[in-house]
Amino acid sequence: MDPKLTEVAQMFARFKAAYSRNDLDACVTLLSQLKVHLTKFPSLPPLFQQTPNAVEELKLARDIYEHAVVLSVKLEDQDAFERDFCQLKPYYMDACGIIPPSPEEYPILGLNLLRLLVQNRIAEFHTELELLPVKALEHPCIKHAVELEQSFMEGAYNRVLSARQAVPHETYVYFMDLLAKTVRDEIAGCSEKGYDSLSISDAKQMLMFSSDQELHQYITEEHPEWEIKNGCVFFQKAKESQPCKEIPSLQLINQTLSYARELERIV
């Protein structure tokens, strides 16, 4: 076996050990070293050179990135998650002809879908979904994300919240917690459009807060333009602040005049 590959494999073993010890700091340092080492393998994307050890190297690299993704969930670091997932993707998408599919593939894809849902990036969510083969949709992890999105779109927010109990994988919990916040933002947006005002108790119920205090805190943090007055929340201000569209008359007049002038010049 190639000495470089052995070295990386050993380092990866140490990483796994640290991971199982839950020594996250060690994990992060080891991981960044691993990534640097991986850049030295020409068989990995984007080059895909056919070296004798290509299959092993690809498998190892995929394994490393899978762990990196899971680690980032554990660290609750969304940016790192996105980074690592992007780097992992070519192993699923482009290298599928060379190495056998990974058992972790669908859970991680599902996780990514969930993340997009949490970040309310619905367009990208659907783009990712389109890239998946039909049979992947049957997988519980994917199915979970798809159902969540459907409920989310329908406005069946209670179903979204209740789905937290039925997560298919332990890493999903972190995102399900975040989803509640996304749902609340969605509701807040809708009520702003739908109502001129709401009584505090209704608003509390609508936004799923248990106490008035939480509601007040939420409003001051997220929607300072809302007004609380006479026991009601007023959304009026937000609507007014929208700029009304004005006809650019002066510009139009200028344009028309210049056309007229040009026309006169035409021979």
Residue ranges in contact with other proteins by CB under 8 A: 32, 35-36, 39, 45-48, 50, 54, 79, 82-90, 93-95, 97-98, 265-267
Q: Is the bond preceding 46 in cis, omega lying within 30 degrees of 0? A: yes
Rounded to a whole number of angstroms, the minimum distance from the CB of residue 89 to other proteins is 6
Between 35 and 216, CB nearer to other proteins? 35
- In angstroms, the CA 261 to CA 89 distance is 59
Comparing CA positions, the residue from 92, 186, 180 lying closest to residue 142 is 92
Between 48 and 234, CB nearer to other proteins? 48
Between 72 and 171, CB nearer to other proteins? 72
Rounded to a whole number of angstroms, the minimum distance from the CB of residue 254 to other proteins is 19
SS3 of residue 195 by DSSP: coil
Rounded to a whole number of angstroms, the minimum distance from the CB of residue 196 to other proteins is 40
- In angstroms, the CA 162 to CA 53 distance is 47
What residues have CB less than 8 Å from 109, skipping those under 6 apart?
Answer: 92, 128, 132, 136, 141, 142
* Tokens 């609508």 found at: 206
Rounded to a whole number of angstroms, the minimum distance from the CB of residue 169 to other proteins is 23
Between 5 and 98, CB nearer to other proteins? 98
